[in-house]
Structure 1
Amino acid sequence: MTKPALIFWGGWEGHQPEACAAVVADMLRAEGFDVVSNEGTDVLADADLTRFDLIVPLATQVQVDRQALTNLVAAVEAGTGLGGFHGGMGDTFRNEPAYQFMVGGQWVAHPGNIIDYRVEITRPDDPLVAGIGDFHYRSEQYYLHVDPGIEVLATTTFSGEHAPWTKGVVMPVVWKHRYGAARVFYSALGHAAAEFEVPQMREILRRGLLWAAR
């Protein structure tokens, strides 16, 4: 039996939301999901979002209707999984604390923009990252405000080269947590569609979305 999944995408074009949504849709279909992919947030106005086993936000810096946000939060609290990556999920509704509480964090900066940095796996025994190991990555190194209650699976350490006051700061890159009856997964990796060619990024996201799905 297929699992229904919803991807809603849009917002800032620099994150290539349409291209990324297509990659994620193909990834989920390969895992047996029946995927609905919609541009914009209008689909969230549907009060029956609980029919989806997984919702993937892929929209950076967008506005949302109050009732639509209420529907989304209620669906996740009731057990619909939430999973995503980078600004598509970590900077979706910048003005909505209820959404940020559900995600477990919010993007605030990426000093130096596209740079080389290292991702360190902190829970190598966790199935979401087991066997992957630490790896080098080239992208935006996200500085986030995070919920201390999240379960961190990978981190990165800021060198301070681009923002001296951040030197030595250890920042979560991949995490999971529970919200109500649901599982929530987030990865800060994935600024553009080409980053899916990095096997560690792709595999962590694949495992995370499967884990989050009800």
Structure 2
Amino acid sequence: MKSQARRNFIKTSVVAGAGVLLVPDIVSASVSSRSESALAGKKVLYVYGGWEGHEPKQSVDLFVPWLRSQGADVKVSDSLDAYLDEELMDSVDLIVQIWTMGTISGEQEKGLLAAVKKGAGLAGWHGGIGDSFRNNVEYQFMVGGQWVAHPGGVIDYTVHVSDQTDPVTKGLNDFAMHSEQYYMHVDPNVKVLATTKFSGEHSAWIEGSVIPVVWKKYYGDGRVFYSSLGHVMKDFEVPEALEIMQRGILWAAESKYQPREKWLSPVYGG
């Protein structure tokens, strides 16, 4: 099974500069300065597949060149069998997954959960980790939330940067999106970095609801980062959306190397 998993790895070959988006100097500079220590020499597993509407293959062309440009050793797999390779999963520093819906076997899920619990970082966006494997509740416990609706489909909405002190969102202001506004069921113990408010235009009973857009959390010893932005790759032409995702990847990549952050703050108190 290990050999089969290894055969599924795809060493992508892309034209230099492919998938790179231009962002304002003040934004791109912050990514560059952090990336040298966060990704250089790190082993990254990039797993893509599932529902094609979220452009999993196109995401490879956008994010893998960037990961490699920062010095990461990236393996790309279009199969969940990568999670069966114990030697690989023990060695990775970071897993980036974009796999919407679909199914995962018990053994595949076990391999993924074990790697993160032992300290590998996990990062992803939108349905790529926030709407994967709908029958797997332990997986959802790891991610910290699950997509349940996007009222109105692709609409205009605002993302509110609610935490401007965290390195992932520091220096960023509120910004507009034209995409799916994700309504999520969310773990009350995640550290929320950005939110969005629903107007009620498309579902009147949720008018005024504030739902997390960006968060980070732990699962065991592993750092988990999630952003609901990124329905299609064009969404990352919004500089803040791309910046947040890149910074989140950088944060998750240091899971095995930086002290555990202490910010557990339950929403419901008690």
Tell me the TM-score range normalised by the shorter chain: over 0.9
Count, aligned residues: 214
User: How far did residue 50 of structure 1 move?
Assistant: 2.3
Residue 92 of structure 2 corresponds to 52
More strand by share: 1
Cα drift, residue 42 of structure 1: 1.4
Give the match for residue 117 of structure 1: 157
Give, in whole Å, the separation in 2 of the partners of 1:57 and 1:171. 22
Matched residue, 1:158: 198
* 1:190 and 2:209 are equivalent in the alignment: no
Residue 84 in structure 1 maps to residue 124 in structure 2: yes
Does structure 2 retain, via aligned residues, the 8 Å contact 1:157–1:169? Answer: yes
2:67 equivalent among 28, 40, 52: 28
Aligned equivalent of 1:127: 167
The answer for the alignment partner of 1:141 in structure 2 is 181
Identity of aligned residues (%): 51
Q: Deviations over 1:156-198 (max 9, x none)?
A: 0000001111100000000001111111100000000111211
- The one of 1, 15, 23 equivalent to 2:54 is 15
TM-score, normalising length: structure 2: 0.78
Cα deviations across residues 87-108 of structure 1 (Å, max 9, x unaligned)?
Answer: 0110111110010000000001
Q: Say yes or no: does 1:3 pair with 2:33.
A: no
**Equivalent in the alignment of 1:201:** 241
State whether residues 42 and 68 of structure 1, in contact with CA within 8 Å, keep that contact through their aligned partners in structure 2: yes
Aligned equivalents of 1:127, 1:141: Cα separation in 2:
24
User: Does the CA contact (< 8 Å) of 1:121 and 1:134 recur in 2?
Assistant: yes
- Judge which range, 161-170 or 46-55, deviates more: 46-55
Q: Hey, what's the Cα distance between the residues in 2 that align with 1:97 and 1:26?
A: 32
In structure 2, the residue matched to 1:42 is 81
Cα distance, 1:46 vs structure 2: 1.1
SS at match of 1:178: strand
Normalising by structure 1, what TM-score?
0.98
Could you tell me how far 1:62 is from its partner in structure 2? 1.3
Task: Return the match for 1:174 from 214, 226, 231.
Answer: 214
Distance 1:140 1:3 in 2: 32
Q: Give the AA of the match of 1:147.
A: D
Q: Within 2, Cα distance between the matches of 1:40 and 1:59?
A: 10
Q: Give the Cα separation in 2 of the matches to 1:37 and 1:127.
A: 27
Residue 107 (structure 1) aligned with residue 150 (structure 2): no
Q: Is the 8 A contact 1:178 1:184 kept in 2?
A: yes
SS at match of 1:128: coil
Residue deviations 1:78-130, cap 9 Å, x none?
00000110001101111100100000000011000000000001110111001
- The separation in 1 between residues aligned to 2:79 and 2:183, in whole angstroms, is 26
Displacement of 1:29: 1.2
Superposition CA RMSD, Å: 0.9
Instruction: Output the amino acid matched with 1:70.
Output: K
Q: Matched residues in 2 for 1:165 and 1:21: separation?
A: 38
Which 5+ residue runs of structure 1 have no aligned equivalent?
A: none
Which whole-Å CA distance do the structure 1 matches of 2:217 and 2:207 have between them? 27
**How far is the alpha carbon of 1:65 from its aligned partner?**
1.2
- Structure 2 alignment gaps of length 5 or more: 1-39, 256-270
CA distance in 1, matches of 2:138, 2:65: 30
